[in-house]
Structure formats: C-alpha cells, structure tokens
Amino acid sequence: MNIEEFIKKIEAEFSDMEQGILQSDSIFREVMNWNSINALILIALVDTEYDVILTADDLRASSTINDLFNLVQSRIS
Amino acid sequence: MAIVSIENVKITGLAACVPQFEYNNNDYDLIPPAERTLLINTIGVEKRRMAGSKITASDMCQKAAEKLFSDMNINPAEIDLVIFVSQSRDYILPCTAIVLQHKMGIPITSLAFDVPLGCSGYVYGLYIMGSMIEKGQLKKGLLLVGDISTMSTSYLDPSTFPLFGDSGTATILEYSPNAEPVYFNLQSDGAGWEAISIPEGGTRNFPKEDSFILKEIMPGIKRNRFQLHLSGIDVFNFSLREVAPNIKVLLADISKEANDFDFYLFHQANKLMNETIRKKLKLAPEKVPYTLQKYGNTSCASIPLTMVSEIRNELQEKNLSLILSGFGVGLSWGSVAIKTDKIVCPEVIEYPNLGDKTPIFKITDK
C-alpha cells in the first residue's frame, strides 16, 4: 500500500470529487464536502479495501489524508 | 460461545403486513436536494411505509397471522404459544402477546409473552420459540415480529428520520420430528447499549415535563428525550466488526461453506452497511435480497418482510438453505442456518389507511 493508491481509491469512491484534487496534506474535511454520510462511506471503503475499521475517534484525531493513511497502514495486519 | 441448535421444529407459514401510507424520502425537505440524493443512494432507502397514530405493530402482526390461519386452515385453538417480538408494544403493561391471544381467539391454555428485541429479534424469536417447541409438548407456535419505529423518530433528525419503516409479520413454527436441525450463533454486548437508545420513559429516567421538548442535540439535529438516538458511526463500526465473523463462526461450526446456502437474509440496516458486510463474506449480489429501497429499515420485521417480499416464490416452491442474520440495538446480534421446506407464504399484505392523513411526525415535530 502507498499513499498514491490510497488517494486514488478515495477519489474513485467519492464520484463527485475531481480526480487529482486530493493531496497527502489535504485537510479531508475541507476538500471532501465532509458530512456524516461521507464519513460512513470512507469507513466502508477503508474496511473493504484494507480490512481496517476507522472509528469516530480515529476520524476526530486525523486532519490530513496523510494522517488517515498512516493510521490505516499502522493497523494493516 | 452461544452456538446452539434446535431440532424437530420447522417453519410452516410466513406472512408480512405493511401500512398503506408511503413516504418518499425525495420529499424530505429538511436537507438540500443534492445531499438528499446522496443520503438516499447511500442508505438505500427511497420509500418506506408509516403506520401513523392509528395502527400498531400488533395490528399488522395480527393481520398477517389471520391471513396465515385462513390460508393454512389453522384453527386458533391449535396454537399453544404466542410470542410477540417488538420494541413498540401496545402498552407499557401488560404484554401485547397476551392481549393478542384474546383478540385472536387463542385458548387460555396457551403461553403468551413479549420479547423486546429489535434488529436481532427475528433470529432470537426463532430460537426462543424453537427451544420451547422442540420437545413436542407444545406443538404449534405463533411468532409475531414487528415494530413501528417511525413513531419514535424526529423529523428534525436526519440521522434517524429517513431510515425507518413500519411492518408486522407472523411466522408459524411447528413441532416436526423429521425436521432438519437449526443452528444459531447468538451474541450480545451491553457495552454498546447507548448507541441505539431512547433515553427517557423507562424507570431509569422517568418521564418528566421537559421530556417532550425538542432540543438541538448537535448542529442540524433536533429531537426530544422520547425519541430515538442513533450513533451512526458507532453502529456502523459494530456491524462491520461483528456480523461477518458471527456468520463465519457459525458456518465453521457446522462445517458449511458460504456457497452452501441459497440466500442470505440480512437485517435491512442500511445499504452501505449491508453491502460492506456482503462483500466481506464474498457473497454474490443475487444471494442477498433487499427491501430497503421500498420499505426502509423495518427493525425486527426486516428479515421476515424481506423473505416474503423478495423470495416468496422460492419459499413456496422449493426446499431452501438460508442464513438469516440480525444485528443492532442492544447491542444484540445473531445468525441462524435454517432449511425451509415449501412453506405457505402469501404476498405482502397492506394495512389500509385508517383515515389518519397526518403522519405522527408532523404532529409531534412541526
């Protein structure tokens, strides 16, 4: 797993988002038109792709795409 | 580990009833149109049925049961046991099953009681009734499973209002010495009790004057303390963590493969959650029927309602191997591996609108 692949998967899942708009230092709450539905979609994506479950606390503790990536990577078994 | 089995019991009839009044989530003007579309596509609920203030869960269960009595030529005097699984009972007390026993002409020599479980309620109901019937002392049971969840959601709470629909179902379980064993994996976790809850109205938090006052819980969410609270992410995490392993453990215990089953009937929670679970179990879409799009999340009724609505012909004409799996409020969850053998299954019944033109949410919230 690398961050480019991680970003591509997120961009593909959120179809209303322009390709290439996400960067590793993007604040995901700002770029992704963040709401509670998008939070669930992201959790489902990460679970399906990486078998990692992000919690509400995980999301609160993260701000950039890179934060999320590091969290997911640290939990991949 | 609660892997348990029952023998000598089979389902012989299954019916489901929904209210006539249909609500379309495209009309939910609390949230802007673009967000509404995202919401409908994600949770998978476009239409759902609402009972309003004049129809109860027990009314719909009764209608479904009476249809079965007539289609199966069952005399109410044959029923030894009535269980009503619901979180929307007619009265705080007594048990609704006992009221129904009388209304339906079932004899006073029968047992009747309620089981207040939600999303997991159908699977638990089958286990409870099956265990009581398997010895053959009680021969025929009426399992009534239904809820009116729309009564406890706030129109001003988009985390609950668009999700739920109402329904009541009836299942006939009979003692049958030739029946195949039925296997269950049942679990509970009280640590998550608050994730889906109604805070006031019980004895822990007695009703008070301000219990009915709408309060802003967080930006964009208003409800009173008799209305349903649902922590979306916590429930989502729980379901992703527990449901697939619960089914895998059950399959391993009975030495079966996922493909040995014709259909998987999941509690209709929401589409994103159910699809994620389906993918975890690597199940083909045609094995996993849905009614979310037309009936919403119908709580404990969702599994039997989906069976009637989506695989009725197969249930009537074939012998099927099924996995049923319910998960949610409690937290409580469980799965059952069950074989059915050409059961009586009339099509979904509509409960006529009783002139209640104003659904209850408008009265309480607007």
List, for residues B210-228, the tens digit of each pLDDT value: 888 999 998 889 999 999 9
Residues from chain B contacting residue A34 (CB–CB below 8 Å)? none
pLDDT digits 0-9 by tens, A10-68 = 988 887 777 788 888 888 888 877 888 889 999 999 999 999 999 999 999 999 999 99
Alpha carbon distance B116, B66 (integer Å): 22
Q: Between chains, do B233 and A47 touch, taking CB under 8 Å as contact?
A: no
Asked whether the predicted pLDDT for residue B196 surpasses 60, the reply is yes
User: What ipTM describes this predicted complex?
Assistant: 0.90
Residues from chain A contacting residue B237 (CB–CB below 8 Å)? 43, 53-56
Alpha carbon distance B121, B168 (integer Å): 12
Q: Between chains, do A40 and B237 touch, taking CB under 8 Å as contact?
A: no
Give the pairing of strands B140-147 and B81-85: parallel
**Domain with A62 in it:** 3-15+22-75
Band of pLDDT at residue B338, cut at 50, 70 and 90? very high
Domain with residue A48: its CATH number is 1.10.1200.10
Interface of chain B toward chain A, CB-CB under 8 angstroms? 35, 38-39, 42, 159, 231-234, 236-237, 240-241, 272-273, 275-276, 279-280
Domain with residue B66: its CATH number is 3.40.47.10
Number of domains in chain B: 1
Nearest-Cα residue of chain A relative to residue B280: A48
Across the interface, which of A37, A48, A56 has its CB nearest the CB of B42?
A37
Asked whether the predicted pLDDT for residue B359 surpasses 70, the reply is no
Q: Between chains, do A59 and B233 touch, taking CB under 8 Å as contact?
A: yes
Of B360, B295, B329, B328, whose CA–CA distance to B154 is shortest? Answer: B360
CB B11 within 8 A of CB B336: no
Nearest-Cα residue of chain A relative to residue B239: A53
Asked whether the predicted pLDDT for residue B83 surpasses 80, the reply is yes
Amino acid identity for residue B118 in this structure? G
Residues from chain B contacting residue A53 (CB–CB below 8 Å)? 237, 240-241
**Domain with B71 in it:** 1-366
Mean pLDDT of B28-49: 94
Residues from chain A contacting residue B160 (CB–CB below 8 Å)? none
Least confident among B132-141, B201-210, B331-340: B201-210
pTM of the model as a whole: 0.95
Output the average pLDDT for chain B: 94
DSSP secondary structure letter of residue B16: E
- Alpha-helical (H) ranges within chain B are 33-43, 57-71, 96-103, 121-133, 232-253, 271-280, 292-295, 302-317, 360-365
Alpha carbon distance B179, B19 (integer Å): 34
Length of chain B: 366
Number of domains in chain A: 1
